[in-house]
Amino acid sequence: MSRILVPCHVKGTVALQVGDVRTSQGRPGVLVIDVTFPSVAPFELQEITFKNYYTAFLSIRVRQHTSAHTTAKWLTCLRDYCLMPDPHSEEGAQEYVSLFKHQMLCDMARVSELRLILRQPSPLWLSFTVEELQIYQQGPKSPSMTFPKWLSHPVPCEQPALLCESLPDPSRVSSEVQQMWALTEMIRASHTSARIGRFDVDGCYDLNLLSYT
Amino acid sequence: MLQEESDLSLIIAQIVQKLKGSNLYSQLERQAWASLQRPEIKLESLKEDIKEFFKISGWEKKLQNAVYGELSVFPLPSHPAAPPEHLKEPLVYMRKAQGSWEKRILKSLNSMCTELSIPLARKRPVGEQKELLNKWNEMGTDEPDLSLFRPVYAPKDFLEVLINLRNPNYENGDSLSFRTHLGLIQIPLKVKDIPELKECFVELGLNTGQLGIDDSTQVPPELFENEHVRIGQKVLAEQDSAAAQQYIRQGSPTALRAELWALILNISSEPEDVLYYEQLKTNVIQHDLLVDSLIYKDVKLTASNDDYYFVFEDYLYQVLLCFSRDTSVLSHFAYNSASPPKSYIRGKLGLEEYAVFYPPNGVIPFHGFSMYVAPLCFLYHEPSKLYQIFREMYVRFFFRLHSISSHPSGIVSLCLLFETLLQTYLPQLFYHLREIGAQPLRISFKWMVRAFSGYLATDQLLLLWDRILGYNSLEILAVLAAAVFAFRAVNLMEVTSLAAAEVMRNNRRIIIWCGIPVYTLLKLE
């Protein structure tokens, strides 16, 4: 299924915290990232990919236009999706993640804005976010062609002339030949990735020093 | 569902691609072509008939074993957006730490090179080649002057690097709080706790028979041993890798061990493999590497001084020297956080066409490296088979013991697992040892890095390595290390210094039954 990258504008993260940020001891455990699509009309969202950085749970809210006349509504399409099974340990902390349309709670048609709500309840981490955020929409389906009439409705074939009995049945021969051809094509197309095993360059392996780059 | 299906087809495609380059593929092709002569193969149902033929003749089983082998070794295909470095090691700071550790090793090797004025590699003159070929089977009798060589690094240097490993995003406050790790490792990796370990190592439970315990002279063999041996023979007759891996979790009878390990690691001695080994031998004869001297020194310092392994000194040279020339080992760097060192042909610095890996297999041996090979010499006497088994063991398990990674079987996770087990279940002992300045990891690190080779009697060690193969994981090493401490807890509480604790530990072979880890830990639950 093809997909097209949708250019988006990721606004800066906003920390949600109760009380005054300067005086309170702890670090924020909830961050909000707004994603807008300034140059694109409301589209059908296919896939969201990103690289996690120590976010434990992700919720996504999406702003949808249900029809041309009503105002856009905010809906929750993903609730508390777990990115780190144990928020205190490194498992899943820097993984690449893809979220698809079929995993969402609501229909993803006509999306105009996204809001990602990141949660990290563990106080062990200094910061958390998601990186390399990319939004994809459905690519064009393969164009449907109209076949010419004579291809889709072949003329009923004439009865072949009865050949001498000693010759093999032509339809059987043609199917066997087709299969052999398919096998040879497959063998020709496959290539191995086996190494050759040489470590020297033209028989020479005189080295100076190890390289640091 | 869609995601699982596409993941599955990706895994299948990856395995097919890997197997296409293998010997098995060409053998299957040849068999398929040859089978066309057979009367039961008909052209209309060509595919099904050949599949049936493979099933009957045992080739399907070989293919199954190969696929099972690939699944055990290769990590699952990662996200399409993830770069190849991510497959080697997902955490960025660990990659960086591994990179700087490697740079230190390279600097050390380069400085040794310049100090001693010895080239990294040189072609041997013909006379020297002939001489080496003549004494190939008795290289141990050679006594070259190795006094100027020193090992590139020892396990304790590596431990210092691991102790200083820090996650920049982690709260590493100076004051003690709930977030401080009391042990030496300060990385919050996910390690299994006792309930998870019990579930994982269920075949090591009290109710299941174990070789090494339930085959001792006091226990009548009808209770467990006879049946277990019979099942082992059946598994070998079926030639099924997966069944062998399951079977060996309860230990392997000595007579069947060599074949079982070969079956699990999917090693078969075809003529091509013997030829490949001979080719490596030719490479050793033709080119002399600096790394060879490091290997010589290591063998002389470790295995030759060991009561059990000194007889195998010649075998060790034959395996390790060839190992350094084997470029097929380079493929394991796809899932190893380490990277092979690079160099350029003399006079062609910077030109990519003249860039090579050094040593050809990308692995620089450290002090104690030869101990990975030594126990295998008890099982295999034919050099090419011994070589293949060692190579497979290295690219599946041993590489994880000396590279920095977040993998559950990596040395960092093993250290953390050991420390966590000890803190959770022997807190008094842990506190006492910490107070006298004898952090337990300083004692047990060298056991784990060598997979207990040289620290356990050989029959015990082979029973331990049975379990490593059976569970396809090195976590049992950390569990055994913790169990040793638990076993000697009473004595250790009386110790007053690190040196004394060390002496207690090194007091010759720790003769313990292999089942002790789970027994001890179950008692502690």
Percent of chain A with pLDDT over 90: 30
| Predicted local confidence at residue B514, as pLDDT | 44
Strands (E), B121-241: 121-123
Nearest to A208 among B171, B343, B360 (CB): B343
**With bands split at pLDDT 50, 70 and 90, how would you rate the model's confidence at B524?**
very low
The Cα–Cα gap between B424 and B439 comes to 15
The answer to whether A126 and A45 have CB atoms below 8 angstroms apart is no
A49 reaches B (C-beta below 8 A): yes
Is residue A210 situated within a structural domain?
no
Mean pLDDT across B197-218: 76
Mean pLDDT rounded to a whole number for chain A: 79
CATH number of the structural domain spanning residue A92: 2.60.120.260
B167 reaches A (C-beta below 8 A): yes
B275 reaches A (C-beta below 8 A): no
**With bands split at pLDDT 50, 70 and 90, how would you rate the model's confidence at B282?**
very high
A95 reaches B (C-beta below 8 A): yes
Nearest to A201 among B91, B190, B345 (CB): B345
**With bands split at pLDDT 50, 70 and 90, how would you rate the model's confidence at B488?**
confident
Q: How distant is the Cα of A122 from the closest Cα of chain B, in angstroms?
A: 10
Question: H/E/C letters for each residue in A182-203?
Answer: HHHHHHHHCCCCCCCCCCCECC
Mean pLDDT across B182-186: 87
Of A44-58, A126-140, B67-81, which one has max mean pLDDT?
A: A44-58
Q: How distant is the Cα of A132 from the closest Cα of chain B, in angstroms?
A: 10
Is residue A103 situated within a structural domain?
yes
Chain A, residues 126-155, CB within 8 A of chain B, namely 126-128, 132, 134
Flag whether pLDDT at A115 surpasses 70.
yes
Chain B, residues 82-141, CB within 8 A of chain A, namely 82, 86, 90-92, 103, 106-107, 109-110, 113-114, 119-123
Is residue A186 situated within a structural domain?
no
Give the pLDDT confidence of B316-359 residue by residue, as tens digits.
Answer: 999 999 999 999 999 999 999 999 998 888 887 778 888 889 89
Nearest CA in chain A to B181: A124
| Predicted local confidence at residue B7, as pLDDT | 72
The length of chain B in residues reads: 525
| Predicted local confidence at residue A50, as pLDDT | 94
Break chain B down into helix, strand, coil percent, rounded to 5: 60, 5, 35
Flag whether pLDDT at B393 surpasses 90.
yes
- What ipTM was predicted for this assembly? 0.83
CB pairs A-B closer than 8 Å: 146
A206 reaches B (C-beta below 8 A): yes
Is residue A49 situated within a structural domain?
yes
The Cα–Cα gap between B276 and B270 comes to 10
Mean pLDDT across B17-41: 81
- Which residue range(s) make up the domain with A95? 3-15+29-141
| Predicted local confidence at residue A83, as pLDDT | 94
The Cα–Cα gap between B282 and B22 comes to 22
| Predicted local confidence at residue A158, as pLDDT | 55
Is residue A189 situated within a structural domain?
no
Question: CB atoms < 10 A from the CB of B138, how many?
Answer: 11
If you ran DSSP here, which 8-state letter would residue B453 be given? B
Flag whether pLDDT at A101 surpasses 60.
yes
Is residue A23 situated within a structural domain?
no
**With bands split at pLDDT 50, 70 and 90, how would you rate the model's confidence at A196?**
low
| Predicted local confidence at residue A148, as pLDDT | 58
**With bands split at pLDDT 50, 70 and 90, how would you rate the model's confidence at A159?**
low
The Cα–Cα gap between B306 and A92 comes to 43
Mean pLDDT across A76-100: 93
The Cα–Cα gap between B448 and B71 comes to 25
Is residue A126 situated within a structural domain?
yes
| Predicted local confidence at residue B525, as pLDDT | 37
Picking from B21, B28, B150, B18, the residue whose alpha carbon sits closest to that of residue B77 is B18
Q: Which tokens is B83 given?
A: 């770069």
Mean pLDDT across A80-99: 93
Flag whether pLDDT at B515 surpasses 50.
no
Flag whether pLDDT at A128 surpasses 60.
yes
| Predicted local confidence at residue B36, as pLDDT | 81
B169–A206 C-beta distance less than 8 A: no
Say which residue the tokens 């205190």 belong to.
A88
| Predicted local confidence at residue A99, as pLDDT | 92
Question: CB atoms < 10 A from the CB of A189, how many?
Answer: 7
Mean pLDDT across B449-478: 91
Break chain A down into helix, strand, coil percent, rounded to 5: 15, 35, 50
Report residue A201: phi and psi, to 5°.
-110, 105
Picking from B335, B356, B337, the residue whose alpha carbon sits closest to that of residue B345 is B356
| Predicted local confidence at residue B61, as pLDDT | 87
User: What pTM was estimated for this model as a whole?
Assistant: 0.86
Q: Which tokens is B523 given?
A: 């008692």
Domain tally, chain A: 1
B334 reaches A (C-beta below 8 A): no
| Predicted local confidence at residue A134, as pLDDT | 92
| Predicted local confidence at residue B522, as pLDDT | 44
| Predicted local confidence at residue B350, as pLDDT | 77
Say which residue the tokens 């200094």 belong to.
A126
B167: chain A residues, CB-CB within 8 Å: 90
| Predicted local confidence at residue B341, as pLDDT | 92
Mean pLDDT across B146-165: 90
B43 reaches A (C-beta below 8 A): yes
Report residue B76: phi and psi, to 5°.
-65, 150
| Predicted local confidence at residue B511, as pLDDT | 42
Mean pLDDT across B227-237: 92
Percent of chain B with pLDDT over 70: 90
Mean pLDDT across B295-301: 91
Flag whether pLDDT at B210 surpasses 90.
no
Flag whether pLDDT at A124 surpasses 80.
yes
Contacts of B291 (CB under 8 A, 6+ apart): B324, B358, B359, B364, B365
Flag whether pLDDT at B30 surpasses 80.
yes
Give the pLDDT confidence of B375-385 residue by residue, as tens digits.
Answer: 999 999 999 99
Window from B88-92, B252-256, B487-491 with minimum mean pLDDT: B487-491
Mean pLDDT rounded to a whole number for chain B: 85
Nearest to B287 among A132, A176, A205 (CB): A205
Window from B84-98, B185-199, B414-428, B489-503 with minimum mean pLDDT: B489-503
Give the pLDDT confidence of A5-40 residue by residue, as tens digits.
Answer: 888 888 888 888 776 665 556 788 899 999 998 888
A195–B331 C-beta distance less than 8 A: yes
B50: chain A residues, CB-CB within 8 Å: none
| Predicted local confidence at residue B508, as pLDDT | 39
Window from A111-115, B98-102, B158-162 with minimum mean pLDDT: A111-115
A89 reaches B (C-beta below 8 A): yes
Report residue B95: phi and psi, to 5°.
-60, -45
| Predicted local confidence at residue B497, as pLDDT | 59
Percent of chain B with pLDDT over 90: 44
The answer to whether B414 and B474 have CB atoms below 8 angstroms apart is yes
The answer to whether A24 and A111 have CB atoms below 8 angstroms apart is no
If you ran DSSP here, which 8-state letter would residue B439 be given? -
A87: chain B residues, CB-CB within 8 Å: none
Window from A76-90, A137-151, B31-45 with minimum mean pLDDT: A137-151
Nearest to B21 among A179, A192, A200 (CB): A192
The Cα–Cα gap between B410 and B185 comes to 13
Flag whether pLDDT at B360 surpasses 80.
yes
A194–B341 C-beta distance less than 8 A: no
Is residue A118 situated within a structural domain?
yes
Nearest CA in chain A to B343: A210
Flag whether pLDDT at B121 surpasses 70.
yes
The answer to whether B121 and B358 have CB atoms below 8 angstroms apart is yes
Percent of chain A with pLDDT over 70: 72
A206–B188 C-beta distance less than 8 A: no
**With bands split at pLDDT 50, 70 and 90, how would you rate the model's confidence at B507?**
very low
Strands (E), chain A: 3-6, 9-10, 14-16, 30-36, 45-53, 57-64, 73-82, 96-100, 111-119, 129-138, 207-211
Report residue A154: phi and psi, to 5°.
-70, 155
